[in-house]
Amino acid sequence: MHKITHPVSFTLNGEKKTFLTRPDEKLLSLLRREGYRGTKYGCGQGTCGACTVLLDGRATYACLLYAMQAEGREVRTIESAGTFDNPSDFQKELVAAGAVQCGYCIPGMVMSATALMESEKTFEDEIVKEYMDGNLCRCTGYEKIWVALRRTLDRRAAEGGKPAAKRTSAKGAGK
């Protein structure tokens, strides 16, 4: 095992950070040992989406990204999306729809939906499916997650697609 000797610097949830890592350490592992445990370890092979984070605003599997690849880039985790006391619109809708069973997939779902809402102006089903195609839920059959997301997106579209106030750095939420 190599020593943790390689520095890597990136913006994490709006704050500039430097961590020590190893060349073969995955971003997911670094995030979790640094306390950002909202990002989940599911399959570890880029299939389930539980570890989804945003890299320069794009949804990415943290389990398929070496921490060293994040150098100089902007990483956002579920901790930036909302807190227990101040959940995001989609998080509120997920609760209201009863869409959360075991909940393990939800942080990844929220991050993919965040990328969708920030990148697109309109939310046709085909576009929504495209952004959400890398997140698996093995409890619910997706129906209620879809309902919650559709409600969030429809309201957003009705409000003229105004981007919500940016929430950053709420470390510790979503455990």
13 or 112: CB nearest another protein: 112
Nearest approach in angstroms of CB 169 to another protein is 23
Q: Nearer to another protein by C-beta: 51 or 170?
A: 51
Strands 6-12 and 52-55: unpaired
Q: How far is the CB of 54 from another protein (least distance, A)?
A: 9
Q: By C-alpha distance, which of 69, 67, 86, 76 is closest to 25?
A: 67
Contact residues toward another protein (CB under 8 A) are 2, 6, 23-24, 26, 45-47, 49, 52, 55, 58-61, 63-66, 68-69, 71, 112, 115, 130-134
Nearer to another protein, 47 or 169 (CB): 47
- Minimum CB distance to another protein smaller for 34 or for 130: 130
SS (H, E, C) 48-106: CCCCEEEECCEEEEHHHCEHHHHCCCEEECHHHCCCCCCCCHHHHHHHHCCCCCCCCCH
Q: How far apart are CA 62 and CA 111, in angstroms?
A: 12
